[in-house]
Structure 1
Amino acid sequence: MPSAVQHLRLEAVAVEFRGPLLRFFQRRTPAGEEAEDLVQEVFSRLARQDLAAIENIQGYIFRIAANVLRDRARRAGVRAILVHSPEDFDIEDESGFTPERILQGQEALQIMVSALYELPETVRMVFSQYHFDGVAQVDISRRLGLSLSTVEKHMAKANRHLLRRLREVI
């Protein structure tokens, strides 16, 4: 049974991260479908954790969100397989994507997400805004109050780190 303090912490976290999580899911699901349910799933999983023991709550929340998305995709894939008859199911489509290649891609993506959260917060924010939100580096520098040169250095640092982590698993 969660304590009153745990409940208050969870409420504060929900107030702070509900909007960002909703946007996270809306950008990654068709027409934002299920985004609200996915946000609730994140908080449901978070409620089972000791929030006081989590050092980087933002990183932890978005790692849970990535896992929720992955679980949703996995369930959708199983449903799609069950709907098709065996003669409709081809182990390799015309693009050459086999289940093994898809799994390798998913594993590499998980490694990259974990590697992102290893970066300092400012570097991660610069990288995320540029690559995930499509914000120009000049606009990032204005938003964060950094020089353009600093933004470029943060991008280079993030790219080096992510490439190094990806090479470790290849």
Structure 2
Amino acid sequence: MSLDDKNGLETLYGVHRADIRRFLIARIGNAADADDVLQELWLKAQNLQAGPIDNGRAYLYRMAQNLVVDRLREKQRRMERERRWSDHTTDFAAAGVEPADRSQTAEEEILAREEVAALVSAISNLPDGARKAFELHKLEGLSHAEVAAQLGISKSGVEKHMAVAMKYLRRALQD
């Protein structure tokens, strides 16, 4: 049977509506969602451009299946979007509570800047050998052996300089 006008497809929709609904319920698993897809199918059938359709029933079933696949893909995209969002907003105090703004307050930023300034000042006031050893080891990431080679001292000397630096910095930052 060839359908050349949309009235033929709408008529077939009316004839096979109950069967298509059962088909959709079996695919989706939810009668309410199946009814939504069925409504969407009706709208698509009405707005379809006229053209030859050899098997109208098969065409309607294919349209229905395509709508189910579209919904499944959209659901997967939504779930992925929500998963990414929830990865950034974990640790809610209670369900349904908006996540707290984790950015620093102005006061916290000022305190952090003051701490950094105090640390920079404390490092610059270290004894010369301890400062050089500390900067090479902690800031540049060199091992004690590499620091020793660069400064021309023993590894034990580097360890002593580091102990002096750490003791001095702890005392300076606690005040």
Output the TM-score relative to the length of structure 2: 0.41
**Higher-Rg member (1/2):** 2
Q: Which has the higher contact order (CA 8 A, sep 6+)?
A: 2
